[in-house]
Amino acid sequence: MDRSPDAELQNAIFLDPNFVKNFLSPNAQQRNHVTTLLKSKLRASTLSKRAKNKEKLYGPLCQVLNTIGRAVDEVVDCGRATDGDGKLNEGHLGKNRDLRDHHPAFVDARTLPIGSHHDRMIGLKPDLIWFDDPTHHWETAKMTVEIQTGPTYLKAGMKQLTKYARAIFAHQPHRRHIYGIVICGWEATFVRFDRMGVLYSEPMDVRKEEFHAAFAGLVMLDDEAMGYDTAFTTRTNKDGKLEFYVTLPEEALAEQGDSRAVGNVGVDDAAGHSHTPAVPETQVSITLRSPSRLFKVIKRLCHREDIIGCATIVLLIQEVLRQGPLEPTAVEAGVRTRSRAKREQIEVNEELGTEYVLKLMWRDPNRPEEGHVLKQLVGVYGISQYIWHSDVYKKCNLLDCMRMTGVSCEGCLDRTPLRDQVCTRNGLTDLHLPRVKKQDGEGTEYAPVELGDPKEAHDSRRSRIYCRLLMSTVGSSLSTASSPRQLVGAIFDAIIGYWQLVNMGLLHRDISMGNVLLLPRANGYRKRTWGEQTPVYDNPDPELIESEKKLREILVQLDYPIGMLNDFDLFATCNRIGDELIDYIPPGDEYGIEEPALKRRRLDHRSTEPKQKIYPRIDIRIGTPMFWSLRVTEVQPGERYRHSFLDDLESFFWLLLWCVVEHVDLGKSQVSGNAEDMMNQLDQSWLGQLILTKSGLLDECTRESGAPMKSRLLSFQNEWASNPTMIDLILDLGSFFHEVDRTDIAQYSPAQIFEEVVYIVNQALLSFNKASSDEHAADSSPGLRS
């Protein structure tokens, strides 16, 4: 679930005293030339000495910003901006330039309609906005400016700017960070949003040279420094819609075998610094000039709106095998670009190849990598299939950079900036602000806040690393299941995959919608390891040896999965076997929770020798609360506890229930009132009420032979909730988890529990097979022999 801006930026807003030096000084010499040029250009500035009326600030401020932008153009784009002594030679400025093609071009956006893919973002109105394209859409917004009347409204301006940053992040999968400006009266504050929060500058007077130089430095930033992922390129199709392309290194598909020649769309070098696809002039195959391959983004499968955190973006991509023009038409600015040149719009004929899934995320450097664990799971039944992963590297200016020799360089590793010396100000550590009546009595506004003096922050600002993960399995949401049987079959396969995970010493910790997917038959599996007659791997834990033997008895009966477990960025190792599997050495302070001595469960055939194990400390503030087990939901914030495979298995139950509740039958447009009420009860932020809801639902599955739960399911008024087999399955699973002794979770063995859960789900699949006349479901869903 995406968090509100107020919540996610709590204690993540820092003053960087060296903001301009750290971010806005790309070329000191050119910047000095700009400030020299501006002395004459801004001499007749319309900025008055006092700023009382906000409405009268827009025009003058917009004019000043665009004047600085034009001055930068004249200096940067002129090939001979200086004479032999390094002094500005104004006689050379602007020659051979189309001055109408200047950037930036800030516009007053208060009455400007801005296109959006998200209904809740329609109507957002920045004061000033810089578009990267003549089209007014959040996909092309480069940065925004918020204007307030005085310094006490800095927090209000920051809050508004955060809304716009969220909109840009939500529409642009290639944005790594975003700049903005809050202008309070004549005091301008530069703001930088990245995946660790907000950094902002000391205020400076927009009428003074200090601001002119800083803003000129911002305009001079290249695309990478401005926050774009330069592996991406964009173009406008014939329908006027923006299309994204991404270039990946050849090594990403090194194990996929040779493919046909790939059409190059303007990738100039391995670093991917070309910004706009330059369509080949002929339709013949063209080999890339660098060891890389081009892919077209077909669909965004997942795009988080959060600013802070992993910021996961999942894209369905297809390799571009050939690309050539059809009847080109000379249309000015037809191709969207972040370069200053206007291009020719060309309708492109493309031949696309294999589909893949590309995941973009900002990983925690203190945790093991998701790609590392997925690499160990290639060929495992019911698990998303790995191809390649890598951290992202940017241009490096270090003289001793070793990146080209294959050695990682901290200077070129793309990560959010580490800052040991940052400050906070009382009143601006969060964005919580009440609304009050305006002084004129018309409407409301955010309350003014007197900010405290800067003081050194107690903690340094941590960092996240930008990385990419490529997978061959292309799944779809469980909500697209064509029948109850297909839904249950997909969940069955994911449970089988998770069983294998537990036997390898790993826990998933985020079983939820989007992380369990439908999978077309055999899609993306380059090899299969299930059903192989191989010895059980060396494992010092007799429980896991027994669990693996029972799992293999089931795997030999299965063909290819129709469902899979996905998204391992929150996984944890649950014993030393898992640590060794991924070559992970846990931090010393993350261990120290002893597992209670194993006890015999009443249904166990025998007990094993009690033993002491060490487990990682788990932060419950991860995953999706509506799918948490009841035990995890009951854990108090900060309380130490040991996450169990049983918690994840119970999450499958809540996932199944959610899918049934939210199902909308063909011919209907929305869920029933009772179903909507149930969804609201499960999807809520008050954990106290969520505990009561989950506890009550589990109790309904056992009380009066499940009559209360059956009645509830029928009240949802959809075909899935009223299906007799689905009702029995929910009652059986709910009763099973209701009986779990949550006070002594360590007594349960994986072999026993998985065998029982798999049996319950498989019985439902067999019942579906017997009752259903849906040949597609019967043929494409798993099921064990009875």
Secondary structure of 461-521 in HEC code, one letter for each residue: ECCCEEEEEEECCCCECHHHCCCHHHHHHHHHHHHHHHHHHHHCCEECCCCCECCEEECCC
Q: What is the model's pLDDT at position 784?
A: 67
**Beta bridge mates, 437:** 444
Homologous superfamily of 475-780 in CATH? Answer: Transferase(Phosphotransferase) domain 1 (1.10.510.10)
Tell me the C-alpha distance between 642 and 622, whole Å. 14
Do 760 and 729 meet the contact criterion of CB atoms below 8 Å apart?
A: yes
Q: What is the pLDDT of residue 400?
A: 65
**Position 336: which residue type?**
R
Q: How many CB atoms lie within 10 A of CB 291?
A: 10
Q: State residue 33's pLDDT score.
A: 85
Q: What is the pLDDT of residue 523?
A: 75
Q: What confidence tens digit (pLDDT) does each residue in 299-320 have? A: 999 998 889 999 999 999 999 9
Angle between helices 707-715 and 724-738 (to 10 degrees): 130
Residues of the chain with pLDDT below 70 are 1-3, 43-46, 48-52, 78-104, 256-290, 325-347, 397-411, 522, 533-539, 576-621, 772-786
Of 720, 727, 712, 618, nearest in space to 674 by CA: 712
Residue ranges of the alpha helices (H) in 279-437?
A: 370-375
Q: List the chain domain ranges.
A: 5-228+428-437, 232-405, 475-780
> Which residue in 379, 399, 396 sits closest to 530, CA to CA?
379
